[in-house]
Amino acid sequence: MIHVLRVGLGLGVVYCLTLASTDPVDLAIGTALGMGLVVALGRRLEPAPFGAPPPFARRVLWFPVFLAAVAGDVVVSTWDVALRILHLRPVRHAGIVRVPIGERTDRGVAVSGMVISLSPGAVLVDVDWERRDLIVHVIDASDPDGVRARLQRFYDRYQRRVLP
C-alpha cells in the first residue's frame, strides 16, 4: 500500500506540474488518478526479470551521453538517407531485419524502438514477443547481420547504462 501511495503521490505531482497548479485539490485529484493507475496496471509496473536496474546516479550521469549518441545517430542517418535520395549512394535492398531483444526489459524494448524510429532510414515495425525479436524495416537490409550488430552495439554502449 505504501508503494501505491508513494507512486500515486509522485504522479499527482506530475499532474500538478502539467496543469501548472499548486492547488491542493489538483494534487488530490492527481494522486487519486495516479493511485488508480498503479492499482489498474498492477504487475506491469514490477521490475524487469533481468536483475536490478543500474544505480540511479550512473543512469543520471550516462543520460546526456545517451542523448548525444541518439542525436549523433540521427545526424549520421539523415546524411545517409539524403545521399540515397540524391542517388549518390545506392539503395541496394530495403527490407525487414529481425533484431533479437536479448536482455532488454519491456521498457528497454520501447526505448530501443523509439530510438530506432527516430533515425531516418529505419523504423520499428513490430515486436515479436514469442520469438523475442524486434522487427525493423531498414533502408539498406543487404547486410542484416551488420544491422543487428550496429543496433546491439548502440544498445550495449549507450542505452543499457540508462534504460536497459
- Together in a domain, 25 and 96: no
Together in a domain, 118 and 94: yes
One domain for residues 23 and 97: no
| Total of domains in the chain | 2
Residue 141, H or E segment: none
Q: What is the DSSP letter of 21?
A: -
Place of cell 549523433: 72
**Does this model's pTM top 0.75?**
no
pLDDT of residue 46: 55
The pLDDT value given to residue 109: 95
Task: Answer yes or no: do 74 and 122 share one domain.
Answer: yes
pLDDT, position 7: 77
For 3, left (φ over 0), alpha (ψ -120 to 50), or beta?
alpha
Is residue 61 in a domain?
Answer: yes
Domain containing residue 139: 56-159
Q: What is the mean pLDDT of each run of 10 residues along the chain (164 residues)?
A: 74 82 87 84 58 81 96 96 93 93 92 94 95 96 96 95 91
The overall longest dimension of the chain from CA atoms, in Å, is 61
Residue 52's pLDDT is: 67
Torsion sign (Cα): 32, 37, 43, 46: negative
What is the predicted pLDDT for the residue at 18?
Answer: 83
Would residue 51 count as lying in a domain? no
Over its C-alpha atoms, the chain yields an Rg (Å, rounded) of 20
Residues 40 and 65 in one domain: no
22/80 same-domain check = no
Residue 126 shares a structural domain with residue 69? yes
Q: In whole angstroms, what is the distance from residue 10 CA to residue 14 CA?
A: 6
Per DSSP, the three-state class of 42 is helix
